Structure 1
Amino acid sequence: MNVQTKDTIDVNYSTYTNDFGCAEYYLVCKTSDELTYEDALDDLYDAYMESVAEIGLDETTLQFTRIYVSDISNEYRRLRSSRLYKYLCNGAVSVIEQSPIFGPVSILSYHMKSEFSFLNKSVCTSHNGNVLLTEGLNYRLLWSAGNISGGNNSAVQTDGIFSKLDMMLNRSAMSVRENTIRTWIYVRDVDNNYQGMVDSRKDYFSKIGLTDKTRYIASTGIEGKMADTKTLVTMDSLSIGNIRESQIVRMEALSHMSSTIQYGVTFERGTQIRFGDRSHLHISGTASIDSTGAIVHEYDIRQQTMRTIDNIEALLSKHNASLDCMMYLLIYLRNRKHYQCIGDILTSRIPQHVHCIPVEGAVCRPGWLIEMEGVGITNDSTEFPAFM
């Protein structure tokens, strides 16, 4: 649905509601190319506030926001002093340099609202990132945003990030092994630093018991920058407390895509989280890959776009879902100028109600020109407790 409130700002949202659990809202906000950075922040704040008020949301329902900027070294400090950022800090907030295709700033924001029970929120902010813990009747959600660690290479930083996340989760009776279900890993200079992250993550997962025989974590590993140029890796994550292992289901489409471990990488293509009333379908970063793990349609952005969408549809279809259930899609482009070449494909293949955020972000292999990810929600009926 569209709740645009200014000519310079485009605000859209998707929602999932039922008669049992809480309502979920994903807001996608894009700015106009004609705006300066400061004007974009001001207009975006006004439009966001008007939109959430119209939908019936407020600071108590806010869970997580990611802000996409074009030049984080010069824009981060100004962002932190803005009305927009201060409001969004009522939830976990991540800021990453992945230049929006439209305007100086884009945001993806997630809210939850319950008519049945009270959701208890607590926010903690530190120099290593910020954390939101939301406790419901049945589950606890822990969003960790902007997690970083010291070290002189991507491998050391990755190990530190996961170790710190696990220690933080332990304080809430959770762990990476049992409770983390989604990560977003941003790598500065991905062409040179991605392998160090991959190797370190693989070693860490093996140590804690995340293997191809148990499970991995749905994830996106993509080019992204933090304000500090020494930060080579940063991570956002979602963990769920009180969840059982049987609620976490591996998503595969082996006819279209190989398992990731086949080429030495340790993440799930997607993960279905089954609740008593619904399922969350976390689609990892997905590119133009085939059942052998090879790049398909090298150098051809149009054919890669169609194959990427085919792969996502294949993942969803195995779980009785389709693109219609997606709450949003993030589109990463190695070359931002390619967006004008694929607009007609996105319009024809992606349902109109599924709102997209296109940004510039190099995929982990230079030959991949595009990657997509998102979250879907479908009705479900299981013996597990309802969501939140």
Structure 2
Amino acid sequence: MLQEKSFKETVKLNDAYAEVFCFANNTEAREYHVTVHVTNTELNFKQQLETLINAYNEIRINITGNAVAVFKRYFLSDSANQENEVYNMETSDCAISVIQQPPIDGSKIALWTYMITGIKTRVLQNGLYRVEHNTYTHLWLGNYNKLEFNSEYQTRILLQNYVMKLIETGCTLADNCVRTWFFINDIDNNYNGVVKARNEIFMTQGLTPKTHYISSTGIGGRQSNHKILVQMDAYSINGLKQGQMKYVYAPEYMNRTSEYGVSFERGTYIDYGDRRHIYISGTASIDNKGNILHIGNIQQQTLRMLENVGALLDEADMGFTDIGVMIVYLRDIADFRTVKKIFNHKFENIPCIIVHASVCRPGWLIEMECIGVKDLANKQFKTF
């Protein structure tokens, strides 16, 4: 694997393959997004897990520069019978997320991991995974949940506790949180509770339609314990200066989320001295009035979704060529072949995982999120 410049490639491995994205710009901090997929679906879960971990280790060893995993997310087909096996075999000390969102390629498990070279890491006592480089401290959180009466109270406690964790590190939710993910068990019944709690907590933290919100995905997913209705993953950064974090809206394509009662940003980008990061929230087939477009038509919904994501990227002067990883959520597994054909035609070698997960509105058949990075010369800010 070349390390001097950025690349995307697909690597065939034993009973698996990996999609690898590398961002390199002649600095010590190279970034990798890697997705690992099992191809031999006749293996049992333990065998698939071993295959996946072996494939990941092979990729990691072949990446020079001592790249360190800072975040991993495992996608499982049956968390009740698989989650403990993952924890028993997982030895990384990075932030880890494990969620039941079955890969639709027929396998029982898939993996997305984010790795960086030239960093210092440690786990804080409050559970945040700390990544230090230059003047920035990156804080990752995975698999965070609390058992409470319903989804509203679970979300409320999660966010209140997360606010306190950030305060302990000198951060606030409004100034430092970049990205959240909410995985909601039985989303059709529990999403409203998440929305209510998030709206109320955000207001107490100075997050309003007149200020800004946080890029986020709220999507169906569950843990092994069926009483856990909400799991949260999150990412914050300490050390950002005013004007370093900005938001994209694509108003000709989509309306503001606050217009239909929810509180998240369509996308967030951060400028460093040497690169730009972008985080696109869960995005679906929607217009600038908040209407679902192409109801019942998976092909047209997929194309409109991609058009919306493209408009958000364009607003940040970026494009799909800058994308390091895409996660795609399908409500109906029968739509997989149609969606896969479109993605294969439009994208080559971009790390991508397509999973079975219900979207927050029943009329949406598909949703996607992505993360990207672009080379940038900006002397106003410190390098990444």
SS at match of 1:216: coil
Offset of residue 321 of structure 1:
1.1
Q: Write out aligned runs for 1:12-23 (5 A).
A: 12-20=19-27, 22-23=29-30
Q: Which runs of 5+ in 2 are unaligned?
A: 1-7
Q: Does 1:376 align with 2:372?
A: yes
8 A Cα contact 2:33 2:351, kept in partner? no
The residue identity in structure 1 corresponding to 2:115 is H
CA shift for structure 1 position 353: 2.7
Q: For residue 4 of structure 2, what is the aligned residue in structure 1?
A: none
Selected match of 1:93 from 72, 92, 96: 96
Q: CA deviation at 1:57?
A: 5.7
> 3-state DSSP class of the match of 2:128?
strand
The correspondence for 2:78, drawn from 68, 71, 74, is 71
Q: Give the equivalent residue in structure 2 for 1:45.
A: 53
| Aligned partner letter, 1:363 | V
Aligned to 2:112: 108
Letter of the 1:169 partner, please give it: L
CA contact (8 A) 2:296 2:365 kept: yes
1:143 to 140, 144, 154: 140
Q: Percent identity?
A: 33
Q: Shift in Å at residue 123 of structure 1?
A: 2.0
Could you give the per-residue CA deviations for residues 82-112 of structure 1, whole angstroms, max 9, x where no partner exists?
Answer: 2xx12xx321111000001121110000111
> For the residues of structure 2 that align with 1:132 and 1:368, how far apart are their CA atoms?
34
Q: How does 1:1-388 map to 2 (within 5 A)?
A: 1-2=8-9, 4=11, 6-20=13-27, 22-32=29-39, 33-56=41-64, 58=66, 61-82=68-89, 85-86=90-91, 89-102=92-105, 103-114=107-118, 119-124=119-124, 130-349=127-346, 351-382=347-378, 383-387=380-384
Q: CA RMSD in A?
A: 1.5
Secondary structure, aligned partner of 1:81:
helix
Q: Deviations over 1:159-201 (max 9, x none)?
A: 1111111111122111212111000110100001001101110
Deviation track 1:316-351 (CA, whole Å, cap 9, x = no partner) reads 1112111111001111000112111222211222x2
Once the two structures are TM-superposed, the CA of residue 221 in structure 1 deviates from its matched residue by 0.3
Secondary structure at 2:336 match in 1: helix
What's the secondary structure of 2:149's corresponding residue? coil
Shift of 1:125: 7.9
Stretches of 4+ aligned residues off by more than 4 angstroms: none
Q: Measure the CA separation in 1 of the matches of 2:247 and 2:218.
A: 18
Residues 5 and 51, structure 1, Cα contact 8 Å, conserved in 2: no
2:123 alignment partner AA:
V
* AA of the residue aligned to 2:21: S
User: Deviation at 1:56?
Assistant: 1.9
- Once the two structures are superposed, residues 332-373 of structure 1 have per-residue CA deviations (whole angstroms, 9 ceiling, x without a partner) of 000112111222211222x20312100001000000000000
TM-superposition CA deviations, 1:10-36 (whole Å, max 9, x none): 112101111346111001101122221
Structure 2: distance between partners of 1:188 and 1:274: 35
Q: Normalising by the residue count of structure 1, what TM-score does the alignment of the two structures yield? A: 0.93
Residue 5 of structure 1 contacts residue 50 of structure 1 at CA under 8 Å; is this kept in 2? Answer: no
**Deviation of 1:7 (Å):** 3.7
Q: Is the 8 A contact 2:95 2:129 kept in 1?
A: yes
Alignment partners' CA distance in 2, 1:205 and 1:148: 18
* TM-score, scaled to structure 2: 0.94
Q: How far, CA to CA, are the matches of 1:125 and 1:224 in structure 2?
A: 27
Q: Quick check: 1:258–1:291 contact (8 Å CA) kept in 2?
A: yes
Unaligned stretches of 5+ residues in structure 1: none
* Per-residue Cα deviation, 1:244-285 (whole angstroms, up to 9, x for no partner): 241111111011111101101100000011111111110000
CA offsets, 1:188-222, max 9 Å, x none?
A: 00001001101110111111101121111000000
